[in-house]
Amino acid sequence: MHTRIFPVMLMFVFVWPVSSQEADSIRVIALESVTVTADSYKEVINRNAVLPVEVAEKDFLTGHFTGNLMQTLEYIPGVHSMDIGSGFSKPMIRGMGFNRVVVTENGLKQEGQQWGSDHGLEIDAFSIERVTVRKGPSSLLYGSDAMGGAIEISVPPAPADNQIFGEAGLLCKSVNSGFGGSLMLGVKKGAWYTKVRYSEQHFGDYHVPTDTVVYLTMRIPVYGRKLKNTAGRERSANLYTEYRNGKYYSNYAVSNVYQKTGFFSGAHGVPDVSRVQDDGDHRNIEFPYSNVNHLKATTKQQYSWHNLIGSWDMGYQNNHREEWSKFHTHYGNQSPPEHHPDEELDFSLNTFGSSMKLRFIPSIPWEHTAGWDMQFQQNRIGGYSFLLPRYDRFTTGLFGLSTWRPSSRLSVSGGLRYDLGSVDISAYTDPYLETHLQGMGYDDELIRQYKWRSYPVKRDFGDFSGSVGLSWNPEGAHRIKANIGHSFRLPGANELAANGVHHGTFRHEQGDPSLSSERGWQFDTSYLYEAKGFSLSATTFFSWFNNYIYLKPTGEWSVLPHSGQIYRYTGAEAFFAGAELSFNADFLNCLNYSFTGEYVHTHNRDERTPLAFSPPASMYNTLTWKSRKVQVFAELQSIAKQTRVAKNESVTGGADLFNLGGSLSLPIGGLNAELTLSLRNLLNAKYYNHLSFYRKVEIPEPGRNIRLFIKIPFKYSLK
């Protein structure tokens, strides 16, 4: 049967209208005899998508605001935050993270150093007004890196009337003495809509509910229960403007995000008790620390004809990451660099991206889209240490998607995509290591092998992605979705050519230039019931990969000093399976009870072990009391014990956390202030996050945290 499906699909230009920017841009558009309308953005997305989709808008983002995007989105089933201390995080969806989840802003992929577990997401959380989370393979829209899902950050439509508007925000957190603020000012006048924002956050060393950390039998004191050198700060500025005149629409956005954060000394290199002595200052940032600056400029150009919409997204990004540590060397012949002698690693990633789409609606039941994406990356390196070589990477893809809606209750979607990729990795030799090995008496063959920290690698890749799915609404309150797809992912430069001691992970990581692309099949089903005052959602998913790339402990001893055994990127047969359940009920006119739960099962069939970073099962039980301007909630967050761990990964105990909070709408001088107060981990429980950067050194999660967020919006009408 499947041999007939793809030729039929190839006869059309295909569409699966799940791009948030596209859906929003034609939310109310007359196409000759066709009018596309919607009650809400969330309803549009869920009606059209054949994969599970969650939309977080203003109320959700304000009520769960933490100053960190991923920690805010953790309340969505299947979404996890891989934390780096108390300040920065990166996304994980259904057990997949790193280069398997795409984050887009203004239509283009956010590109940084997302391959590392100690690299966060450089996006201003204050500026985010709408997020769409696509759980499951999204390679058709975004290319190979989206095989695990996508997080889309988009801008809501401009107000219809002319006005000057803005908001002031203030965030305070007790666990790290953190405080932050944001100011936004905008204007809507005629065809123009513009806003500018500046945000800043500062935080100190964060509290943990323990006096001692035990790592490899070494007892490391935590003075004052504050984790030394985990302070940090973030500054960001962004400008957004759009212009709409008849059938033409365009927007332009420029942003710059700067982050500086310290690393707990025991989590960078070999733990040393002397390095964690209390210095009396809980806000200073000492060695080791990281500096990251992310500059991004994007534009969207769009024109609408009778039943055709063409759009072109373009952008440039520079992600500059520096890791600083007091100069140290294991080689007697290596002296400090003359310029920036304490800069250990330096990565400068330049990305040029382009995405063109043509959307065609010939009749009421049919909708088609064709698209072309292109991206070029150039990574340059520096510093006195070495981990990843310089490289150039080019990817491009053509896709077509189609949707057939014979009635308002049934939607069938399918599509194909073909991607090409090439990577050119530069060679890197290490003369200091060569001299060191000669002095240690190693033979010439081994010395020749190890002095080449990176061989020159030129590889080309290409493969198909495909998907077929349906969304069926048999009755008004029910919706059933099913989707099956094939996806693939090009191996990253780190997986092909990394070769060095990654102090953030305590191991010698080594790439394999012969790796093939990841390939897999993924299947999703979901059921949704919505009625007045009640909703129920249940989802199951299964993914199988014949070449899932992971870091495998080889048992080979590395000759690099203080490195242990070699962990090499290797392909294996693997599968993921899991389920998500949520329901929500209103009762007694003022109370609401909600439940969310999730479970992910991962398995490496070659090693007969789970995969690393498998999130534990978890659930939230929340009871909320609401009135017109006030709401209060009590919440029990339960995290199961994670015993299914990969080799050299620790078992993580479970925990029950109690949270309280509420929000208040308060009139102040003619303005309406929104206050949100929450108490997280009310009982100051000691527990561990299996996905945390600090988990491997037995550091528990932050203790009790009182968080206050105040937002004061304003607007004035213009004639």
What CATH number is given to the structural domain containing 39?
2.40.170.20
Mean pLDDT, residues 610-633? 95
Please, which residues bridge with residue 29 across strands?
36
Query: Confidence band (pLDDT; 50, 70, 90) for 52?
Result: confident
Q: What is the predicted pLDDT for the residue at 35?
A: 37
User: Which is more confidently placed, 719 or 222?
Assistant: 222
CA dihedral 282, 283, 286, 290 (to 10 degrees): 130
Domain range for 523: 2-266+284-717
Mean pLDDT, residues 111-135? 89
Quick check: is 487 in a domain?
A: yes
Q: How far apart are CA 266 and CA 325, in angstroms?
A: 13
Quick check: is 231 in a domain?
A: yes
Nearest to 323 by CA among 347, 349, 350, 295: 347
Q: Which helix (H) or strand (E) holds 704?
A: none
Structure tokens given for 58: 């203003």
Structure tokens given for 69: 């995007």
Nearest to 425 by CA among 516, 499, 497: 497
Quick check: is 485 in a domain?
A: yes
Quick check: is 160 in a domain?
A: yes
Amino acid at 587: F
Maximum mean pLDDT: which of 82-91, 269-278, 408-417, 633-642: 633-642
Characterise 280 by phi-psi region: left (phi > 0), alpha (psi -120 to 50), beta (else).
Answer: left
Q: How far apart are CA 444 and CA 176, in angstroms?
A: 52
Determine whether 666 is exposed, middle or buried from the number of CB atoms within 10 Å of its CB (0-12, 13-18, 19+): middle
Is 60 exceeded by the pLDDT of residue 350? Answer: yes
Residue count of the chain, please give it. 719
Question: How many distinct structural domains can be found in the chain?
Answer: 1
**Strand 366-382 and strand 343-360: pairing?**
antiparallel
Q: How far apart are CA 329 and CA 561, in angstroms?
A: 9
Q: How far apart are CA 463 and CA 131, in angstroms?
A: 29
Quick check: is 278 in a domain?
A: no
Radius of gyration of the chain (CA): 26
Quick check: is 86 in a domain?
A: yes
CA 14, 17, 18, 22 torsion: positive or negative? positive
592 three-class SS:
strand
Quick check: is 273 in a domain?
A: no
Decide: 67 and 86 in contact? Cβ < 8 Å.
no
Is 80 exceeded by the pLDDT of residue 166? Answer: yes
Is 60 exceeded by the pLDDT of residue 234? Answer: yes
Nearest to 106 by CA among 251, 322, 269, 215: 251
Quick check: is 411 in a domain?
A: yes
The secondary structure of 31-55, three-state, reads ECCEEECCCCHHHHHHHHCCCCEEE
Q: How far apart are CA 44 and CA 107, in angstroms?
A: 18
Q: What is the pLDDT of residues 546-589, one digit of tens each?
A: 999 998 988 888 888 777 788 999 999 999 999 999 999 999 99
Decide: 308 and 22 in contact? Cβ < 8 Å.
no
User: Which is more confidently placed, 449 or 574?
Assistant: 574
